[in-house]
């Protein structure tokens, strides 16, 4: 029984890795269909709070305090490297934006990865303000 569980986990991670290979090929904040499908599977329904990544534009924050804007290539390469090395997910969380925040920034959600300091609504509001005011330049945006 234990061997079947290991085999099942190995097969699931191989499928996820194969899907991840098609992700992060550019730094455009607009998710491709492959990236959206991967993220919808990568995050549980509970983590996503019902959010669907299909056709969405995301801001990606990295660093221990979640204060560094990153591109999709960095984000997905981090996921690929971690899956390849350990078959475990990276520390990452999705934060869907409110309608008002979407209108201010043109983005649908914030993705964080490798943050030591928890993301709060106040932090998300600061990020939204910085992006809306042009203080932060988003990787991949022209």
Residue that is written with structure tokens 């660093």 in the block: 63
CA–CA dist 135, 132 (Å, integer):
8
Q: How much is the average pLDDT of 110-126?
A: 91
pTM of the complete model: 0.82
Asked if 127 and 100 touch (Cβ cutoff 8 Å), the reply is no
Mean pLDDT of the chain: 85
Task: Kindly state whether residue 62 falls inside one of the protein's structural domains.
Answer: yes
- Structurally, how many domains does the chain consist of? 1
Range of the domain at 69: 2-132
Task: Kindly state whether residue 142 falls inside one of the protein's structural domains.
Answer: no
Task: Kindly state whether residue 137 falls inside one of the protein's structural domains.
Answer: no
Strand ordering across the sheet containing 58-62: 68-70, 58-62, 109-113, 92-96
pLDDT band at 72 (very low <50, low <70, confident <90, very high): very high
Highest mean pLDDT: which range of 7-11, 76-80, 83-87, 136-140: 76-80
Per-residue model confidence as pLDDT tens digits over 55-70 = 999 999 998 888 889 9
Task: Kindly state whether residue 140 falls inside one of the protein's structural domains.
Answer: no
Task: Kindly state whether residue 44 falls inside one of the protein's structural domains.
Answer: yes
Q: Parallel, antiparallel, or unpaired: how do β-strands 68-70 and 92-96 relate?
A: unpaired
| Residues written for the chain | 142
């Amino acid at each position: 029984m234990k061997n079947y569980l290991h085999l099942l986990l190995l097969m699931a991670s191989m499928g996820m890795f194969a899907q991840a290979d098609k992700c992060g090929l550019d730094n455009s904040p607009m998710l491709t269909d492959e990236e959206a499908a991967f993220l919808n599977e990568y995050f549980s329904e509970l983590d996503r709070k019902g959010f669907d990544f299909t056709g969405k534009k995301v801001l990606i924050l990295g660093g221990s305090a979640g204060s560094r804007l990153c591109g999709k290539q960095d984000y997905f390469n981090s996921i690929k490297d971690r899956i390849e090395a350990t078959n475990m997910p990276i520390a990452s969380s999705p934060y869907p934006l409110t309608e008002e925040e979407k209108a201010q920034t043109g983005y649908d959600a914030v993705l964080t990865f490798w943050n030591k300091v928890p993301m709060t609504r106040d932090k998300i509001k600061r990020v939204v303000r910085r992006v809306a005011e042009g203080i932060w330049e988003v990787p991949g945006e022209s």
